[in-house]
Amino acid sequence: MIKWFKAFVLGVIFWYLLTILLGFIIALLFKDLIFFKSNSNLMNFILFPVGVWLGFKITKTSFFGLQTNDTPISKLQNELLLNELKIVLKNANELNKKDRERVATNVWNQMTTYVSEIEGLPKPSKEVEKICKRQLREAAIKRQNAITELEYKNPDWIQASLVESFLFCNSGFLEKKTYKIMMELISDFIRKNEK
């Protein structure tokens, strides 16, 4: 909300500067035209939206408060998700071979299922964003439901956590650098362990 107000204030400043600039140009070029002298409110009516638009455009803030998929997750959250994935993969690699194969196969199957839900839809779009958020909610619930006394060593929890990490990557909410690293880590685990 603070960013929105800053963008608006910047827009008002641009409006003020544009008004001064237009007044200066009119004074130099159109001294004798009465139209400009009697219609300053009309000029401000035109310049105000332009100034506000510039303020929001320069700060890359949405006027209506809609968040774009540019990276709605902060840099810190990106780092935390990546670190959590590394811990999960460390625990996954400590599982016995049979559990690693089962986890890798199930993660791959769930990944393809989730991708098929948004395949062919225009990206970015509200529809894709809505589907990705629903998928992330479902994955978070599955991960939370898989918590047992085994904690991080539980194959079902590891599987749910890997799927959730993939969905963060697939959603477009992560920075590109984090996305690439996480996808490489998940793909590498699947490649090495899938039956």
Q: pLDDT band at 98, cuts 50/70/90? A: very high
Give yes or no: residues 48 and 96 share one domain: no
Q: pLDDT band at 144, cuts 50/70/90? A: confident
More reliable by pLDDT, 150 or 157: 157
Does residue 42 belong to any structural domain of this protein? yes
What does residue 61 show for φ and ψ, rounded to 5 degrees? -110, 140
Give yes or no: residues 89 and 183 share one domain: yes
Does residue 36 belong to any structural domain of this protein? yes
Residue 64 confidence (pLDDT) above 70: no
* Residue-number span of the structural domain to which 41 is assigned: 2-59
Dist. CA 24–CA 4, nearest whole Å:
30
Does residue 70 belong to any structural domain of this protein? no
79's tokens: 């780092």
pLDDT tens track for 119-135: 888 777 788 888 888 88
pTM of the model: 0.61
More reliable by pLDDT, 34 or 144: 144
Residue 83 confidence (pLDDT) above 70: yes
Residue 168 confidence (pLDDT) above 60: yes
Does residue 136 belong to any structural domain of this protein? yes
Q: pLDDT band at 143, cuts 50/70/90? A: confident
Give yes or no: residues 84 and 31 share one domain: no
193's tokens: 């362990």
A 10 A CB-CB count for 54 gives: 18
Mean pLDDT, residues 69-83 taken together: 73
150's tokens: 């085994």
63's tokens: 């006027």
Dist. CA 88–CA 115, nearest whole Å:
22
Dist. CA 101–CA 99, nearest whole Å:
5
- For all residues of the chain together, what is the average pLDDT? 82
Alpha carbon separation from 19 to 26, 31, 56 (Å, rounded):
10, 16, 18
Give yes or no: residues 20 and 93 share one domain: no
Query: According to the model, what pLDDT value does residue 67 have?
Result: 47
